[in-house]
């Protein structure tokens, strides 16, 4: 069993470890107005509102953080609960709103863990995007740096930390080309990243104008998660409210959303409708009509383009 230098926790790597890199240093900022922390389970908290969701888990040996965004400094929320050191930082996928906030935790020097694909994305487009936004003078980017993951894996990784088991899994190409989930069996919680969006339309996950969410891949991943039949009380979404205690119903809703929405767009394509006509005339199925519509045009374009690519 490999051990990290100066670290008490144990890591069981059921995968290939890729690289270790050093951390930079600099100053922090304040929490974003409109953001709040809710308790999901014992010692498990999620920050929601004002952008994407992020979570942290308090253990006897320190804190594990799942997802971070440079535009949301979530450290003040953590410090309201505990002053324990942040030992691990995970990112569900390489995206500006899920994997860019490591800067706020640099004083604790956590082990930052991502999938192999996240490391590729960091060097291929994520760092460039971050630097471009910094050059534009965007507020939260000034003086900040974006470190790469310090540890990478393929397949699955289990971290035994503070009496809890953290099972990270590289789920494959769904919302992005490398989505990660994390299951905490003792707390009956699973962090889903952007594979799950509650009460709003998913984003199209555009990256570098090349990489987009894969609808069929997302459906297959969600189906596999449903079929695992894990004893989970709460699946934590990457965006939208956390439905504490609703269990697998949220994941079923998300899987069905992609199937039903794709079928409705396919009917319009077969009827000869253009993309512009679909954007103007599309009616969201009643089951999802209450969803926030802000991201609807983007996801409709994604459905349309991937249906056309399949030759429909």
Could you tell me the CATH number of the domain that includes residue 204?
3.60.15.10
Q: What is the pTM of this model?
A: 0.89
Q: What is the pLDDT of residues 25-52, one digit of tens each?
A: 333 445 567 899 999 999 999 999 988 9
Tell me if 2 is assigned to some domain: no
Distance CA 86, CA 20 (A): 17
> Is residue 289 a part of any domain in this protein?
no
Residue 268 lies in a domain: no
- Does any domain span residue 217? yes
Domain count across the chain = 1
Report yes or no on 297 lying in a domain: no
285 lies in some domain: no
Which residues have CB under 8 Å from 84's CB, separation 6+?
A: 58, 61, 62, 63
Range of the domain at 65: 10-248
Beta-carbon contacts of residue 186 (< 8 Å; ≥ 6 apart): 163, 164, 165
pLDDT confidence tier of residue 312, bands split at 50, 70 and 90: low
pLDDT at residue 207, as a whole number: 55
Q: Say if residue 119's pLDDT is above 80.
A: yes
Would you say residue 165 lies in a domain? yes
Judge whether 298 lies within some domain.
no
pLDDT in tens, 183-196: 999 999 999 999 99
pLDDT over threshold 60, residue 10: no
């Amino acid at each position: 069993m490999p051990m990290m230098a100066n670290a008490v926790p144990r890591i069981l790597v059921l995968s290939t470890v890729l690289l270790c890199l050093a951390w930079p240093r600099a100053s922090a900022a304040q929490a974003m107005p409109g953001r709040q922390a809710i308790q999901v389970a014992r010692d498990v908290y999620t920050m929601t509102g004002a952008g994407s969701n992020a979570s942290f888990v308090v253990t006897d040996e320190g804190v594990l953080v799942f997802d971070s965004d440079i535009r949301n400094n979530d450290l003040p929320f953590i410090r309201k609960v505990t002053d324990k050191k942040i030992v691990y930082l995970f990112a569900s996928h390489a995206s500006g709103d899920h994997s860019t906030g490591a800067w706020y935790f640099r004083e604790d020097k956590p082990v930052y863990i991502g999938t192999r694909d996240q490391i590729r994305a960091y060097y291929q487009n994520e760092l460039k995007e971050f630097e471009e936004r910094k050059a534009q003078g965007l507020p939260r980017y000034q003086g900040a740096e974006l470190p790469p993951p310090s540890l990478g894996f393929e397949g699955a990784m289990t971290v035994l930390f503070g009496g809890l088991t953290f099972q990270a899994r590289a789920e494959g190409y769904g919302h992005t080309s490398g989505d990660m989930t994390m299951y905490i069996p003792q707390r009956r919680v699973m962090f889903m990243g952007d594979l799950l969006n509650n009460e709003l339309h998913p984003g199209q996950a555009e990256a570098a104008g090349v990489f987009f969410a894969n609808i069929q891949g997302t459906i297959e991943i969600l189906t596999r998660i449903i079929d695992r039949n894990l004893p989970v009380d709460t699946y934590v979404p990457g965006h939208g409210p956390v439905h504490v205690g609703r269990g697998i119903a949220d994941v079923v809703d998300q899987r069905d959303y992609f199937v039903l929405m794709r079928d409705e767009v396919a009917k319009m394509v077969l009827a000869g409708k253009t993309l512009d006509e679909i954007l103007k005339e599309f009616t969201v199925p009643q089951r999802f009509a209450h969803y926030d519509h802000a991201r609807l045009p983007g996801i409709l374009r994604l459905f349309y383009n991937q249906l056309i690519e399949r030759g429909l």
